[in-house]
Structure 1
């Protein structure tokens, strides 16, 4: 029972952090945000908006690792780096964007597709070398 309660709390925490991705989306474009916060925010937003995950969800356990751990940790870090008053100003705008649907980042999607193609090529070449 306690494990289920802890898991539910963790899922709710991750869901709340993901809602803040829209604040990051607006904040990384803001000139008042420090460059290092922008860098972290850009990486997190690009990955979160990508239609393709670095670790596909069909891979058991690892497929959900990015959704449950990596993305929320990145969001949390980026939010800590952005000044509070900027986050508050962008909160209302972010709510409107979230209601209208999140934008897609096709550049990141193509990047991840290329990674998987290169990985498949490398594994294929490795396997071919082992058996021939």
Structure 2
């Protein structure tokens, strides 16, 4: 049961961080290279097209389990700390208020 709770918490943080990138792309103090990577990561996350198709056993989920979280982590590392904190707070508020993805 603890493994399931850990995975749920990880998935929630991943969703929050993806939404953080969404808000950081619109923040005026975000550097252009962080904006570009953030937009690419969010577009790839929402895109139905995968780098490795999901119908390939085991390998099809590598991009969902490893590649996407790694790219999100890298994009977050490129954000200045004040921008990261502001956008993370905005993402948390959005998740609590609506529970939907931003449009």
Scaled to the shorter chain, the TM-score interval is: 0.7 to 0.9
Pick aligned residue for 2:25 from 25, 28, 32: 28
1:97-117 deviation line (CA, Å, top 9, x unaligned):
44432258xxxxxxxxxxxxx
The alignment's TM-score, normalised by the length of structure 1, stands at 0.61
Which residue of 54, 57, 75 corresponds with 1:60?
Answer: 57
What are the equivalent positions in structure 2 for 1:49-88 lying under 5 Å apart? Answer: 49-88=46-85
The equivalent residue for 1:100 is 99
| Pairwise CA distance, 1:26 | 0.4
Over 3 Å counting, the alpha-carbon distance change for 1:60 and 1:103 in structure 2 is: farther
Q: 1:74 to 1:51 in 2, by over 3 A?
A: same
Structure 2 unmatched runs, 5+: none
Unaligned runs of 5+ in 1: 105-132
What is the aligned-residue RMSD (CA, Å)?
2.5
| 1:66-110 Cα shifts (integer Å, max 9, x gaps) | 111110110000000001111111223212444432258xxxxxx
| Bigger radius of gyration among the two | 1
CA 102–27 in structure 1, closer or farther in 2 if over 3 Å, else same? same
- The structure showing larger relative contact order (alpha-carbon pairs under 8 Å, at least 6 residues apart) is 2
Aligned-residue offset at 1:22:
0.5
Query: How many residue pairs end up in the alignment?
Result: 97
